[in-house]
């Protein structure tokens, strides 16, 4: 007998909310980017940003790369 998963569960999901300068600020942790060492979705008013961080087990020689991409809503 097979099991059908109809809804994914996120046991580590946490959401933090507060009002900052008249706009809602929300931090969501544990729901996206499971392969990253850390990830948070930050929502402030109408703006949403995904911030991720990864790390290697030991240092290595590599050029620092940074990419910023604006996604229209």
Element at 23 (helix H, strand E): strand 23-29
- What confidence score (pLDDT) does residue 54 get? 85
| pTM of structure | 0.67
| Higher-pLDDT residue of 32, 16 | 16
| Measured distance CA(8)–CA(38) in Å, rounded | 20
Half-sphere exposure of 26 (CA within 13 A, CB side): 10
- What confidence score (pLDDT) does residue 50 get? 92
Tokens coding 65: 């790369």
Number of other residues whose CB lies within 10 A of the CB of residue 28:
19
Q: Could you report the per-residue pLDDT of 20-49, keeping only the tens digit for each? A: 999 999 999 988 887 888 899 999 999 999
| Measured distance CA(45)–CA(65) in Å, rounded | 29
Mean pLDDT of all residues in the chain?
82
């Amino acid at each position: 007998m097979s099991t059908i998963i109809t809804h994914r569960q996120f046991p580590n999901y946490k959401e933090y909310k507060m009002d900052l300068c008249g706009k809602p600020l929300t931090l969501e942790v544990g729901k996206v980017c499971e392969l990253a060492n850390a990830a948070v979705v930050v929502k402030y008013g109408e703006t949403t940003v995904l911030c991720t961080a990864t790390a290697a087990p030991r240092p290595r020689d590599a050029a620092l790369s940074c990419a910023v991409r604006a996604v229209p809503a």
